[in-house]
Structure 1
Amino acid sequence: MKKLFTSVLAIGLIVHVNAQSSTSSESSSGGSLIKKAGGLLDKVKKKTGSDGLSNDDIVAGLKEALSVGAKNSSDKLSAVDGFFKDAAIKILMPEEARKVEQKLRQLGMGKLVDNAILSMNRAAEDAAKSAAPIFIDAVKNMSIQDAWGILKGTDTAATAYLRKATSNPLTAAFQPVINASLEKTDATKYWKEVFDVYNKFSLKPVNSDLSAYVTERAMTGIFYYVAEEEKKIRTNPAARVSDILQKVFGAR
């Protein structure tokens, strides 16, 4: 009732001001009132949903956007060389191990280092296959308030929401897959060989947590491309591959 009253008030104000302005076309105050009334009506339209978007539309559209982004990202990164040949997300030696890498290459052991790096990326590619269903399951609890904030937010607002909502459970679910993948691709074997050799020449042995490191880098890569997919959906009509995406993001 309050929204209806506000709508009627706004429309009445426009009619009243138009009537005044017709008797004095040069009245600057009348023009100002018309602008204010028009602005009020625009606000009323937004609040009453006259843009054609219901809360259900918005939630469904954002869930669809995240699902599409997660699936596309997962498919891209789980392919052979999805991580390894992508300079933006390729997993390299951790910062604290860069000196180790340089020293081993100087000692003619570059192949050993290359095997370790390749195996880490293969593990991330293998684990990426499980990312999409984890993300999709996580968006089921998105609230209407969250949805409105995301819709009106930045071009990566949905990705930021997803990162905040899923980082802990995603890590817990992702790490066992990474562990299994590292074993399957012999990454832990190569890693151990790299540092066993290095520690023979160093007074400060290195003992990095390979599993945690690869898990963190794999998640960073996934979120990087989820964000890229979200940007495309928000800014490129061709990326809106369903009716609900076109309706929600075309109305922003």
Structure 2
Amino acid sequence: MRTVIKLAVRYFYNTLNIIYIPMKHLSLTIILFAIFSFHSEVNGQKDLFSKAKKAASELKTSNSPNLTNDEVVSGLKEALTIGARNAVKFSSQMDGFYKNPTIFIPWPEEARTMKDRLTAIGMKKQVDEFELSINRAAEEAAKSAAPIFVDAVKSMSIQDGFNILKGADTAATHYLRTNTSSALQKSFSPIVREAIEKVKVTAYWTPLVNAYNNLPLVKKQNPDLESYITQKAIDGLMKMIANEEIKIRTQTSAQVTDLLKKVFGKK
């Protein structure tokens, strides 16, 4: 046994380039303690390095480790508020819906056959005018949409905030859509109704639907334009808000307040 220990100690010294000193004057206990201490220290250093590496990795991928609960929620509310206002600004201007392929409102899908038949009998001009009118209605309605979206984010909780912060680049917009859809529909519908009257959508629609319904062998059409335009307008504004959210999360130029910089600037 002593021979094995001596060989182990000699190997230990040779590995560390230390001059070997005969061990006969040292206690066997000290020798064993030295060997086991060395191995324990090496293993401990490996474990410490592994933990440090993991902590560094977590720190690197953390969004903003020094944020308070209030800052997270306030920052996300601010992002949604700014995003909603920018979305309203761009979509409510002339051609904001009509010439933006992302949010353009097409002829109602359920009445697509009606559109094709009317175009075929020489009413393309009237068909195009109607399509323009429903986009004009959405643009008009969008002018009053910002306060509705701003009010909708007031109920965001702390847990909601952290989930959104760690989520996808459009997580806040998804939260807004999921949690406020019914309220938005209810609040936005009267605004759309006024816009429909203002831009005279029905003046373009009524002659078209009457002309189609008088054709032989066709299924009568009369889609709910108010509901259709309301939903499409909300969908379009949500898409615009999502685009603004992506900018705020990924572009420092869009982080226009100190709070936004703190919440999103370290991503």
Instruction: Report the Cα distance in structure 2 between the residues aligned to 1:103 and 1:205, rounded to whole angstroms.
Output: 13
Q: What residue number does 1:6 align with? A: none
Deviation, 1:39, is 3.6
Matched residue of 2:214: which SS? helix
Provide the identity percentage.
Answer: 49
User: Equivalences for 1:166-181 in 2 at 5 Å?
Assistant: 166-181=180-195
> Residue 242 of structure 1: which of 242, 257, 266 is its match?
257
Deviation, 1:32, is 3.1
Return the TM-score normalized by structure 2. 0.79
**What amino acid is aligned across from residue 178 of structure 2 in structure 1?**
K
**What amino acid is aligned across from residue 247 of structure 2 in structure 1?**
K
CA RMSD of aligned residues (A): 2.6
Instruction: Report the Cα distance in structure 1 between the residues aligned to 2:38 and 2:266, rounded to whole angstroms.
Output: 38
**What amino acid is aligned across from residue 228 of structure 1 in structure 2?**
N
Q: What residue number does 1:216 align with? A: 231
Give the helix-richer structure, 1 or 2.
1
Instruction: Report the Cα distance in structure 2 between the residues aligned to 1:65 and 1:155, rounded to whole angstroms.
Output: 12
Return the TM-score normalized by structure 1. 0.84
Runs of 4+ in 1 over 2 A off after TM superposition: 22-30, 36-44
1:162 aligns with 2:179: no
Q: What residue number does 2:99 align with? A: 85
Matched residue of 1:201: which SS? coil
> Deviations 1:178-223 (Å, cap 9, x if unpaired)?
1111111110221111110111114311111111011111011000
- Uncovered stretches (5+) of structure 1, i.e. residues with no partner: 1-21
Instruction: Report the Cα distance in structure 1 between the residues aligned to 2:194 and 2:244, rounded to whole angstroms.
Output: 28
Q: What residue number does 1:95 align with? A: 109
Q: 1:42 to 1:181 in 2, by over 3 A?
A: same
1:200 aligns with 2:214: yes
Aligned residue-pair number: 229
Q: What residue number does 1:54 align with? A: 68
Deviation, 1:36, is 2.4
Of the structure 1 ranges 235-244 and 195-204, higher mean CA displacement relative to structure 2 is found in 195-204
> Deviations 1:65-121 (Å, cap 9, x if unpaired)?
001100000000000110011111111111121121111111111111111111100
Instruction: Report the Cα distance in structure 1 between the residues aligned to 2:227 and 2:186, rounded to whole angstroms.
Output: 11
1:133 aligns with 2:138: no
Deviation, 1:251, is 2.8
Q: 1:90 to 1:43 in 2, by over 3 A?
A: closer
Instruction: Report the Cα distance in structure 2 between the residues aligned to 1:165 and 1:91, rounded to whole angstroms.
Output: 24
> Deviations 1:139-195 (Å, cap 9, x if unpaired)?
111110100000000001000000112110110010111111111111022111111
Matched residue of 2:103: which SS? coil
**What amino acid is aligned across from residue 242 of structure 2 in structure 1?**
A
User: Equivalences for 1:185-196 in 2 at 5 Å?
Assistant: 185-196=199-210
User: Equivalences for 1:5-44 in 2 at 5 Å?
Assistant: 27=42, 30-36=45-51, 39=54
Q: 1:75 to 1:202 in 2, by over 3 A?
A: farther
- Uncovered stretches (5+) of structure 2, i.e. residues with no partner: 1-36
**What amino acid is aligned across from residue 240 of structure 1 in structure 2?**
Q
Q: What residue number does 1:17 align with? A: none
Deviation, 1:60, is 1.1
Q: What residue number does 1:142 align with? A: 156
Deviation, 1:25, is 11
Matched residue of 2:153: which SS? helix
> Residue 132 of structure 2: which of 108, 112, 118 is its match?
118
Check whether the contact 1:51–1:251 (CA below 8 A) recurs between aligned residues: no
